[in-house]
Structure 1
Amino acid sequence: MDLNDPTTLAVLVAAVVGLATILFLVLKNLRSSNKNRVLLVGVMDSGKTTIFTQLSQKEAEYPTTTKTFTSMVENRITLRIKDKERKIIDYPGNDRLRQKLIDLIRSRSLLRIVFVVDSAAFSKNARDVAELFYLVAFENTDKVPILIACHKQDLSLAKTEKVIRNSLEKEIGLINKSRAAALIGTDGSEEKRATLTETGVDFRWEDLKKQEVTFVTTSSYSEDFGIYEIASFVKS
């Protein structure tokens, strides 16, 4: 084989490029096939575990009882959907477990994220909810779809989806601003902390480039607001 022959060299280059492309596609498919986890996340008492319990039932009916799980331990179930599996993870809302949550999101094994908000307690928890969502969205470098479930809509104090959407928008903008103003170290450098977007307090949901974020209103105990949207999101 004459490597100085232009024709031979061109054939070799084409072969190498072809093999590299095939290898890339195989690795991509393997990586995609490993992404079968659905994360349920939210602040404490948001209703995640009730949703988790409901999803674990064979029939998506309203549970007559709610099983109590340990709040410091994540709960897992595996659902078989046709020929695929979905591993549902109900992650505790305790602040002390945030680093492990970051590790889970960074594992690149997530297919979907369901972010559960207690609509009835949203007024007092708005900042905490926004900070947790900020963390989840910031670490979600794979840009897996996020469904924000405005839960407990059957309660009289529940805020509407529009109110929650607008309030989170405002809070995320303020977090952007505070993070941009904070120094990473104490050495006097002007390097800023990374922010979710570069829009500061003018944050809008559409500023999350290539990130699919949708809102639904849900309740585990009302026929008007079932968790069917969540079940559909999980199965898709």
Structure 2
Amino acid sequence: MRLHIQIDRRVAAVARTLRVHYPRGLDLIGSGLGLAECRLERTTFAEVFIANPHRLGGCPQNAVIATGTVVGEVRLDPLTIGEVGTFTLMTGPFGDDGLELVGLVEGINPFGALLAYQGELREAGGRYGGTIEMRLPWIPILPYDTADVALLDIEATIGSTDIIYAREGVRGVVQRWRPEGPRLPTKCASGGMPFEVEIDFSDGSRTRARAKARCPLPSR
């Protein structure tokens, strides 16, 4: 399941909350993804790791459910510096609002910093079966107290073929495999599978966009 979200760089406000509503029958929790839990300290989500030595922030590989890329900007008033990096989405424990999620953005050029974002996967009402929500808080970039990070282009694939899980088998032999991706609905609404993205910005505004994906199954 490939998601691609773009925000016009002319928008001065920074995205603070990102919600992706996906169609009924598309099962992410019941798939073969997310066999482990990524647990980070709450304070981690308000920090920037410059030269973090731990892969995936120290989280287990079997928690990865999506990988992708990001394009963003580090905004140091009045200077703006472009940044490219990788994106990894991982499962955490089940909480009161659903399955907790952890999003890691690892900068490649020019900063190489690691950012951690909180979120959750939960049920949705109406025409949608579930919602992926990620919160993108203001994060200080020390020593620049006035800096902020604006994510402008996010491309991620849930159940990507480059996700490899591992476990220790008999006699210590490590077994590796590609986990199964999201389970598809048994039927699709006519016109395709509906998706919707909502973005809340730092100035209090909200925008949304809708799209339909080609249905790989017979329509109702």
The normalised TM-score by structure 2 is: 0.27
Larger RCO, structures 1/2 (Cα 8 Å, 6+ apart):
2
Please state which structure has a larger fraction of its residues in strand: 2
Larger radius of gyration: 1
Which structure is higher in helix share?
1
